[in-house]
Amino acid sequence: MSQASQAPEDDVGEEYAFTGPLLVNKLQEAGIHPNDIKKLAEAGLNTVEAVAFTPKKHLVTIKGISDQKADKILAEAQKIVPLGFQSATEVHARRSELVHITTGSKQLDALLGGGIETGAITELFGEFRTGKSQICHTLAVTCQLPVSMGGGEGKCLYIDTEGTFRPVRLLAVAERYGLNGEEVLDNVAYARAYNADHQNALLTSASALMSESRRDRKFGIAVVVTNQVMSNPDAAAGPYASNEKKPIGGNIMAHASTTRLQLKKARGNTRSCKIYDSPCLPEMETQFAILASGIGDPEEET
């Protein structure tokens, strides 16, 4: 159980600011029955935040959770989790504590304001062989680096929908950064998703795994998703004007992602990356290279 659960009730808000998300077991202190907490966890609601942000109509679909129980659970969860207004100063202070995970390329990191942002969802979309999987392989290693080296001192959870995961690539990146290959592989939890239902089940399991890590709760996580593209029959209009390709998923993917990056092929092992949508980054473009040791800069090619 997190240290926050041992704090006096009056200090919950202050303690929350330091430890981040709280395990759903915290609700037991608020009078929620352990069996009901178990049902919430089995449904993928492993933190108090996840419960507080879940609509009542979804809670009552959980077997054994009645309307009355849902009301009590939501009321207690929302007492613990601050859902009201905050000053911009407080928001800025919390965001200043976020870390960025290096992509392995200085040019790409510069484009992204330091690397892949934690606490956000970054979408990579592009045709095949544009570097999506290679970036993910590199991030699976760099997220384990010390913060001083552009890492997050964390672990990686890798859900593979296309069967492209190759541990040997992780070993090459690990050697580049002077990390122990065996330890790097041990810090990556891998699963192959075979269909949408299986992927949803894996995401539920992932929630449980991440909620158990105090480090994840303190620093937050960086979520990276890859997406394919489709032909754009109306390339003269909309946000993808003058582009013959656009990402699949429509508005659902567009609104779910915090930052969207379009990857394109260039000369040789060089690829281009363009910021297509971001709340804090300008629409700019840069190049990176796919090297034997992972993602790097074009001038590093040999």
- Predicted local distance difference test score (pLDDT) of residue 148: 92
Fold match flag (3-80 vs 98-300): no
When the pLDDT of each residue in the chain is averaged and rounded to a whole number, the result is: 86
Give the span between the Cα atoms of 26 and 45, in whole angstroms. 12
73-93 per-position pLDDT tens digit: 999 999 998 788 889 998 888
Confidence at 212, pLDDT banded by 50, 70, 90: low
- Do 264 and 272 form a contact (C-beta atoms < 8 A)? yes
| DSSP letter for each residue of 155-218 | -EEEEESSS---HHHHHHHHHHTT--HHHHHHTEEEEE--SHHHHHHHHHHHHHHHHT-HHHHH
Confidence at 256, pLDDT banded by 50, 70, 90: confident
Confidence at 219, pLDDT banded by 50, 70, 90: very low
The structure's pTM equals 0.80
Give the span between the Cα atoms of 135 and 16, in whole angstroms. 33
- Predicted local distance difference test score (pLDDT) of residue 175: 97
pLDDT at 125 over 80: yes
Amino acid letter at 31? G
From the number of C-beta atoms within 10 Å of its C-beta (0-12, 13-18, 19+), residue 199 rates as middle
- Predicted local distance difference test score (pLDDT) of residue 139: 98
pLDDT at 243 over 70: no
Per CATH, the number for 3-80 is 1.10.150.20
Share of the chain above pLDDT 70, in %: 85
Confidence at 245, pLDDT banded by 50, 70, 90: confident
Domain ranges of the chain: 3-80, 98-300
Confidence at 220, pLDDT banded by 50, 70, 90: confident
Give the span between the Cα atoms of 98 and 117, in whole angstroms. 7
Rounded mean pLDDT, 150-164: 93
Residue with the bigger pLDDT between 177 and 98: it is 177
CATH 3.40.50.620 for the 98-300 domain, yes or no:
no
Give the span between the Cα atoms of 67 and 64, in whole angstroms. 10
